[in-house]
Amino acid sequence: MNITIEGQTFQISNAFPGQGTFSLSGFNKDTIITAIIVTDQQVNFTLSFKISYSRTVNYETLGEIVYIIRESPGIFGIVEYDPNLRCYLQTIDTSLIDADHYTMRFHIDKENYNSVTKDLDFIVIERLTLINGESAIAKVIEFMYIKDEYNFTFLYTDALTGARIADLTTQSYIWEKYDVNGNVTANGEGTLIQEDDGSHVLDFDSENRTAGEYLIIVTLAKDNYEYKNAMIRFTIQIRELEYSLGNNFKNFKTNVVQGKIVQIEINLTDPTRGGIPLLNASIVLIMNEIEYHFNESVNGTYILNFPTSNVKAFFESKTLTGIISITREDYFSEEFFITIVVGMEEIFPGMPMFYFLIIIFGAIAVVGSIVGYRVYKHATIPTFIKNVRVLLSFLMRVC
For the chain, which residues make up each domain, given as ranges?
1-55, 65-124, 131-237, 242-344, 354-399
Alpha carbon 208 to chain centroid distance?
17
Q: Is the pLDDT of residue 356 over 50?
A: no
Nearest partner of 157 among 182, 176, 132, judged by Cα:
132
| SS3 call for 91 | coil
Higher pLDDT, 215 or 317: 215
Task: Report the alpha-carbon distance of residue 223 to residue 218 in Å, rounded.
Answer: 17
Burial bucket for residue 127 (CB in 10 Å: 0-12, 13-18, 19+): middle
The pLDDT, as a whole number, for residue 385 is 53
| Residue pLDDT, tens place only, 187-239 | 999 999 999 999 999 999 999 999 999 999 999 999 999 999 999 999 999 99
- Radius of gyration of the chain from its Cα atoms, rounded to whole angstroms: 58
90-108 tens-digit pLDDT: 998 888 899 999 999 999 9
Q: Report the distance separating Cα 358 and Cα 379, nearest Å.
A: 32
**Residue 102 neighbours by CB distance under 10 Å:** 18
pLDDT score recorded for residue 395: 46
Residue 354 is predicted with a pLDDT of: 47
Given the candidates 3.30.930.10, 2.60.40.10, 3.30.300.130, 2.10.60.10, the CATH classification of the domain at 242-344 is 2.60.40.10
Give the tens place of pLDDT for each residue, 157-198.
Answer: 999 999 999 999 999 999 999 998 989 999 999 999 999 999
Contact 206, 198 (CB under 8 A): no
Contact between residue 110 and residue 200 where contact means Cβ atoms under 8 Å apart? no
Average predicted confidence (pLDDT) for the chain: 83
> What pLDDT is stored for residue 6 in this prediction?
73
Residue 319's pLDDT band (cuts 50, 70, 90): confident
Distance CA 105, CA 382 (A): 165
Give the C-alpha separation, 244 to 269, whole Å.
9
Q: Is 122 helix (H, G, I), strand (E, B) or coil?
A: strand
132 within 8 A of 164, measured Cβ to Cβ: no
Fold (topology level) of 131-237: Immunoglobulin-like (2.60.40)
Distance CA 279, CA 266 (A): 12
pLDDT band at 8 (very low <50, low <70, confident <90, very high): confident
Q: Which long-range contacts (CB under 8 A, 24 or more apart) does 269-272 make?
A: 269/241, 269/242, 269/243, 269/300, 270/239, 270/240, 270/241, 270/242, 270/331, 271/240, 271/241, 271/242, 272/145, 272/239, 272/240
Longest CA–CA separation in the chain, Å: 213
Any idea of the CA torsion for 356, 362, 363, 368, to the nearest 10 degrees? 150
3-state secondary structure of 152: strand
Is pTM beyond 0.85? Reply is: no
